Amino acid sequence: MEEPAMQKALTTLEFLSQDERARQLYEDRKKALMTYTADIDGAREEGREEGREEGEQMGIKKVALALLDAGDSVEKVMQVTGLSRAAVEALEPH
DSSP string of 53-90, one letter each residue: HHHHHHHHHHHHHHHHHTT--HHHHHHHH---HHHHHH
Q: Is the residue at 49 inside a domain?
A: yes
Q: Is the residue at 5 inside a domain?
A: no
Percentage of the chain modeled with pLDDT above 70:
95
What is the greatest pairwise CA distance in the chain?
80
pLDDT tens-digit series, residues 5-49: 888 888 877 777 777 887 788 889 989 999 999 999 999 999 999
Query: Looking at the 3D structure of the chain, how many domains does it have?
Result: 1
- How confident is the model at residue 2, as a pLDDT? 66
Say if residues 64 and 83 touch (Cβ distance below 8 Å). Answer: yes
Residue 77 belongs to domain spanning: 20-91
pTM (whole model) above 0.75: no
Q: Is the residue at 3 inside a domain?
A: no
Q: What angle do CA 69, 63, 66 make, to 5 degrees?
A: 15
